[in-house]
Structure 1
Amino acid sequence: MSRSLARAAAVVDRRVTGLSPQVLAELVAELGPRWQTCRDARLAGRPRRRAVGAGARHRLVFVDRLLATLVHLRHGVTYDVLACWFGVSRSTITRAIGEVRPLLAERGCTVEDGIRLHTLADVVAYLGAREQVGLLDATEVRVRRPAAHKAGRARFVSGKARANTVKALVITDAGGRLLSCGHTLPGSIHDLTQVRQAGLVELLAPIPGATLLADAGYQGLSAQTAGAVRTPRPARRKNQLPVPPALAAAHEAERRAHSAQRIRVEHGISHLKNWRALSRHLGRRDHLDNMPRAVAGLVSSQERAPRPDQPRRPPKALPAGTAG
């Protein structure tokens, strides 16, 4: 396939990159100058034997580098397949994705009015300023098992997933739209430990308007955050004393109401997992530090992008003899 046909297929069909042409144009306009600046700074930071601008031209322009990175993140396509698709070597694709992926991770998640949330502190401040409710959860990405006879081989074994995983912290708004995804840790880390190491407890203390809903895995966090993190009431155990049916029904209704509000974060995580690079990662585990942030920024940009106006369907004709 020629490079022009590959570029046209990736831009026109949203199924290839998961992004609309409008979002792709914004990415090119935003990241192109930044990529060129980083490249010039890298070349200027070492002794040169050629003049600036000399040497062979890039066989893979920035637009193709961006599209190759998006296809890799969206479908988990190997570097060899991308190299055949764009007509370059595997090392060129590896270098291109390694340059573009950190730029995507630095964009942050897009919210209304063009505001970008880059850090967890930005997310907490955003929720507190608008007195909105956020949804907190964690997702696990399967990774390759570390080599045998190496220290810390069991660190990535998740007791919940029963596999080698890396855990990422996810925060969405009440509608399930992504606000943050990152702070990756090995899968054996408990959810509470991940939140504490991320500094969420200290960030929620000075901002009274921020509220987060979490599942039962975060029980105990409410007391540490003065009620800023709300978890469901514990389920009744079989060995507890019986209570009146009215109290039991109220207890169960409260748990269901909390679950109905919190389920939106699962929808947000499902949008992340549509990008195959976060379903199962076959590359180096140290790349997972910026990969969830890059995908979350892309998903949030697509969620906030205006949708094209759909043509209105004509009203159905009323049956004969029916009053209009």
Structure 2
Amino acid sequence: MAEYRVTGLSPVVIAELIAEVGPLWHEQHQARLAARPRQRAVGAGAKHRFVFLDRLLATLVSLRHGTTHDVPACWFGVDRSTITRAIGEVRPLPAQRGCTVARGIRLRTLAEVLEHLGASDQSGIIDGTEIRVRRPTAGRKDRDKFVSGKTKQNAVKSMVLTDAEGRVLFCSPVRPGSCADITQARQLGLVKLLSEGPFVEILADAGYQGMGAQTGGRVVTPPHCKFKKDAPAWYEEMHERQRKTHSSRRIRVEHGIAHLTNWRALSRHLGRREHMSDIVQAVAGLLSHQQTATLPGSRPA
């Protein structure tokens, strides 16, 4: 179960995850036991056969491969409802860890990411990624808001921010698929953070055109074509060259998103849409931790 192909994480990263998340889960578990009226003392009664390590591994397998809960239930010899409850308890904990950029250094908010990029004199790249979800039930008032205008499918959307090398630094909570990329960025406060914070160059695609003027040129988008028709040949050549140059600089964000969607839970989600924010942020945090652990010189001597 701890093999890389099963969980997507090396044994070293899993060990670090157990050491960090384990105490948080036990503290949360004890608080949950003490929060309700009891006829027995906390700790009395039958003990868990499904220990925290198994709960964590079941959660990692669910995120990595998107399996139904029946599969880990057969592996661990417990009921499917036990797996569902365990994953629901464990999944928010890695989602709260943020993205790892160096050993012991994590970025949890968009403001921290922009401050890190400014301090290290790096450029950032943003883009939106869509995850297919189940269609809302018939008769629901806001049923159509999950339909993406781009893919014409029911989806939720998250804004991903990477560095110039394509390493994921931030994944936002999800929004319904009908939300435009630029609208989501504004709702996250990106315009204000860029305007009031250190100078950071953010590369974006045409979906974010208009933010450059609002942020003093900090958001760089592909150039507009100034001719609607009958453009001179020299201008078409120059415009195409500029667009290709911009595209080649921001292509790394697509590589970062591809690494995210290798985790099957983000390729298509068949569970509750309410869990998608935790799933996206948990996968981003785990992926960044694994990428940092594999960098040369990142492990302790």
State the Cα distance separating 1:308 from its structure 2 match. 8.4
Residue in structure 2 matched with residue 25 of structure 1 by the alignment: 15
Provide the C-alpha distance between the structure 1 equivalents of 2:218 and 2:91, rounded to a whole number of angstroms.
34
**Which segments of 5 or more consecutive residues in structure 1 lack a partner in the other structure?**
1-9, 310-324
**Which segments of 5 or more consecutive residues in structure 2 lack a partner in the other structure?**
none
State the Cα distance separating 1:114 from its structure 2 match. 2.2
SS of 2:154's equivalent in the other structure is strand
Name the Cα RMSD after superposition.
1.5
Residue in structure 1 matched with residue 131 of structure 2 by the alignment: 141
Q: Is the 8 A contact 1:132 1:209 kept in 2?
A: no
Residue in structure 2 matched with residue 241 of structure 1 by the alignment: 230
Structure 2 counterparts to residues 19-98 of structure 1, below 5 A: 19-98=9-88
Corresponding residue to 1:278 among 266, 270, 284: 266
TM-score with structure 1 setting the length: 0.88
Corresponding residue to 2:244 among 234, 256, 276: 256
Residue in structure 1 matched with residue 156 of structure 2 by the alignment: 166
Residue in structure 2 matched with residue 213 of structure 1 by the alignment: 203
> Which of the pair has more CA radius of gyration?
1
2:190 is the alignment partner of 1:197: no
State the Cα distance separating 1:235 from its structure 2 match. 4.4
For 1:152, the aligned partner's letter is D
Residue in structure 1 matched with residue 278 of structure 2 by the alignment: 290
For 1:115, the aligned partner's letter is I
Residue in structure 1 matched with residue 294 of structure 2 by the alignment: 306
Provide the C-alpha distance between the structure 2 equivalents of 1:80 and 1:279, rounded to a whole number of angstroms.
20
Residue in structure 2 matched with residue 228 of structure 1 by the alignment: 218
SS of 1:49's equivalent in the other structure is coil
Provide the C-alpha distance between the structure 2 equivalents of 1:37 and 1:185, rounded to a whole number of angstroms.
31
For 2:143, the aligned partner's letter is R
Deviates more, 1:31-40 or 1:49-58: 49-58
**Matched residue count:** 297
Deviates more, 1:44-53 or 1:32-41: 44-53
CA displacement, residues 102-134 of structure 1 (integer Å, 9 cap, x when unaligned): 001001000024211111111111112222100
Corresponding residue to 1:268 among 233, 239, 256: 256
State the Cα distance separating 1:251 from its structure 2 match. 2.1
Identity percentage of aligned residues: 61
SS of 2:37's equivalent in the other structure is coil
Q: Is the 8 A contact 1:208 1:228 kept in 2?
A: no
SS of 1:23's equivalent in the other structure is helix
